[in-house]
Structure 1
Amino acid sequence: MVPRGFRRFSSRRSSGRRQGNAYEDDGISLNSQFGKKTLNRMNAHLAAFEDKQRGGPREPSAREVKRWEKIMAKKSERTLTPEYLAQPIFRPNSAALLHFGDKSMVDYEDKVPVGVFPGAIHVVSTAEEELQHRAALESMRVVGIDCETKPSLFRNYASSPIALVQLASHDTALLYRVRWIDPNLTFPGLQHVLANKDTIKVGHGCAFDFKSLRECRVASHVVNTVDTLPVATKIGCLKPNLRALGMIWQHLQISKAMQTSNWEAPLLTNDQVEYAATDAWLARQVMLGLMQFAPSRPYLTAVHYTDSRQGDDNLMGSSNDEIVAQLLEVAQLEQHRL
């Protein structure tokens, strides 16, 4: 029973509805004190997030490293099981099967030597350091390119920016720490190579990397890029990862243990440096091997990441036939060097 002079809460609420009270009168509009405080808190959180994105690299905790190593160890174990190794690596009736025969990874694992980049490796962190290698950059005709980012376990960012850009010719590798000193630092030599139509850029599964180079403002234009992955897939390779392609086309294998290491560490280890150079170089060598296999050539497609509205002929890139001819010329020249 409700005492005289009082009404139930629901009755008061209903009365408010009947009187047509607007929400603006409840003190929760953006112009109210409560609304202003809420907006200020949201702005503070957004500012903190943006500061975190712009902030420098951090070291992963021991717990993070241990967890990540455990995950990668399990992944590596799966690729070494007898069932996995016995799977065919060429599609039935494909050009690759007709050329190599019925093969599996058993025919390559533990039978192919480990390969590493055979030339000089230079880590570049500033434009002044890059200037020392400008002559080598300008002489490069075919370069392997790869990009490394902080692994997802170590991220401070919604999307990790590029931490390392690797360029490798037959005898020189340059590893650019593009955001270590200053995220806004530019490297004129690197930009020249990426935009130069006389230099072919080879990657493996590289579309995301080349787009990221522009999004991260490492370079405005990237022309004459070619990708080993679609070429290998179309001629019949069922396991077209770079490690497998290296064993098939160059008769050497590489370790991927460093792939998920922290590329924003204060100091890169010797293993990281060697892996980064070898990874970029191997993509280059695989493409040269693919182009010497005639059925591969029709599947090569050059992609140019640039703003076509600028109308600069130097940014339009070469045709597929021109790139195939240049790759064959370089492959034959390097064979004579051996």
Structure 2
Amino acid sequence: MNRLILVSVIAALFFSCAEEKKQGQVLDDAKNAFSLRKQEVSKAMQLPAELLPYERAEINAKVQGFVQRILVDIGDKVKKGDLLIVLDAPEVIAQYAETNARTQEAEANFSASKDTYERIQRAAKNEGVVSESEVISTRNRMLADSAAMVSYQSIARASSQLQAYLSIRAPFDGVITKRLVDVGDFVGTVGKSSMLTIERPDKLRLRIYVQESFVNSVPTLDSITFTSESVNDKSFSAKLARKSGSIDPDTRTELWEYEYQNQSGHLKPGMYAMATLELSRPASSFVVPPAAIATTLERKFVIRVTDGKAEWIDVREGISKKDGIEIFGNLNEGDVLLARASEELKSGTEVKTKIVSQ
């Protein structure tokens, strides 16, 4: 009897341990998961940038000629309208003189024919003094001389403009940064490089190229801070001025341009900079741990568990944060996602989950 009781106790203990082991095995097989919730997304990004002059012009010759005088050199500051280069073009000067003489002749002819017509018109008031045909002929001659005068005046203005092109002047206030000609050089030919380059350094354009996935993010501030390796231990601030409004198909980026007032002259056009861009989404988004996103050659996806079965959901990545990655896809708040996604777990596979805090 005692032996029977002992066997029963041992059997009960064995089945109890087996059941506990089975329950523990089921718990160990359960995959960690979390419930999806939206949150505010913001990030400070470090982006390379370039500093460009607010205005820059390459000065070319409008007409062909020889460089007669050069009044500036690199580093010279100039004002708008200052004379930079004087060209010598005898053909242009001769053409202007000829056109001017013909214009004066045409004006004299018109003045004479007009005076003649007015005299004949007054004489024609007396019956029989002047024939009607002579009045008409004189009037037509005056109109022809008038048309010739207008034509030559137009040609003279064009010729005067060509002569004005021999004096090269500054288009705006700035600094001469390049000089590529000397006295005696022949300029104005097609394909030849510019004579001078003038830049405006007192106001700079800070250009950054923002990735496509971030362009719909709203800068938390209208200004941006940036640094340059050329100026140690100093940061600068620039104000947002404009966005290109288009994605470059080659780089998949949008150009954002900031303006920096550089009256101090600490920065030079052409310098590289590193800008800190504060971004935030206009609406809350989903953020998941990096391990929750699986990546293959064809797609990126997370694994959603619905009615105990795995389901692959394609996603696009957004802003990367310290605690996770922003994702976009066919997802809703409250969806249960696996904390670690893998392509080995196929869609439709039954799966047990254990909810953990994200």
Shorter-chain TM band = under 0.3
State TM-score, norm by structure 2: 0.22
Larger strand proportion of the pair: 2
State TM-score, norm by structure 1: 0.23
Q: Which is higher, the Rg of structure 1 or of structure 2?
A: 2
Relative contact order (C-alpha < 8 Å, sep 6+): which is higher? 2
Larger helix proportion of the pair: 1
